[in-house]
């Protein structure tokens, strides 16, 4: 087989794998949106749909890994092409983790539906999730378009998610101190908010893969992390 034929076969294989990445990304975007919606509206049936839908996300990750491994084995990709294939594997792994966090959010909907609402906490979490969903859409667009500038913009927006999480964390502490009957619900809500914050980290990792793919360099590792909740104030 000529080099040209090998190259065209590699391109076709790569397009097929990237199509699966976009399909997986679409399912994960839906899971984030619907998971947060089920939480805010206390829709246990919708939450169950989100939980059940995670199987399709997991199956796509397995398929992507299998196809990527086959491309590496059959096409003997160059160093640059190998970087491309490895980025696909890493992106699918991050998408799978985001899907898991969305499933975890949906799991707690049933528990929280049996408790009194804590102010507009679920609405705040939904707004935070919407921010992450928008970041994911842009991160996937940046990957397909090989747009390092858009990817860097996504990375910068993760600080907004961290700030939203920090604000919620402080709110939950206040609600628990004001009324002990809020403690159980606030613990569940904090767990969910932390999961959404972690979703943002995985979206950032996807954007970082795009920057590396386009430029050959990783973004600055000294990127500030705005989650300050682990720092104990001495005031």
Quote the tokens at residue 17. 């794998």
Radius of gyration of the CA atoms of the chain, in A: 20
Q: What is the pLDDT of residue 36?
A: 96
| pLDDT at 211 exceeding the cut of 70 | yes
Q: What is the pLDDT of residue 7?
A: 60
Average pLDDT over every residue of 8-36: 92
pLDDT digits (tens, 9 = 90+) for 86-108: 999 999 999 999 999 999 999 99
DSSP result, 68-107 = HHHHHHHH---HHHHHHHHHHHHHHHHHHHHHHHHHHHHH
| pLDDT at 208 exceeding the cut of 70 | yes
Q: Quick one: 3-215 is in which CATH superfamily?
A: Phosphate transport system protein phou homolog 2; domain 2 (1.20.58.220)
pLDDT digits (tens, 9 = 90+) for 112-153: 999 988 988 999 999 999 999 999 999 999 999 999 999 999
């Amino acid at each position: 087989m000529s080099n040209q034929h090998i190259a065209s076969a590699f391109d076709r294989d790569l397009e097929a794998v990237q199509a699966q990445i976009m399909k997986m990304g679409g399912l994960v975007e839906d899971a984030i949106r619907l998971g947060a919606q089920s939480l805010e509206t206390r829709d246990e049936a919708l939450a169950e749909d989100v939980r059940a839908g995670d199987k399709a996300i997991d199956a796509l990750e397995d398929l992507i890994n299998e196809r990527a491994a086959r491309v590496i084995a059959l096409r003997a990709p160059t160093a640059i092409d190998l970087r491309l294939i490895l980025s696909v594997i890493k992106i699918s792994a991050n998408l799978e983790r985001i899907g898991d966090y969305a499933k975890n959010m949906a799991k707690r909907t049933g528990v929280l539906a049996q408790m009194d609402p804590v102010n507009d906490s679920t609405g705040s979490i939904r707004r935070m999730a919407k921010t992450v969903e928008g970041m994911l859409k842009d991160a996937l667009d940046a990957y397909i378009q090989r747009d390092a500038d858009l990817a860097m913009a996504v990375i910068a927006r993760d600080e907004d998610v961290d700030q939203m999480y920090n604000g919620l964390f402080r709110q939950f502490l206040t609600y628990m101190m004001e009324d002990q009957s809020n403690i159980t619900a606030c613990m569940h809500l904090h767990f969910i908010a932390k999961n959404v914050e972690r979703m943002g980290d995985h979206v950032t990792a996807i954007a970082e893969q795009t920057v590396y793919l386009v430029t050959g360099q990783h973004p600055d590792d000294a990127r500030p992390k705005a989650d300050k909740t682990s720092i104990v104030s001495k005031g």
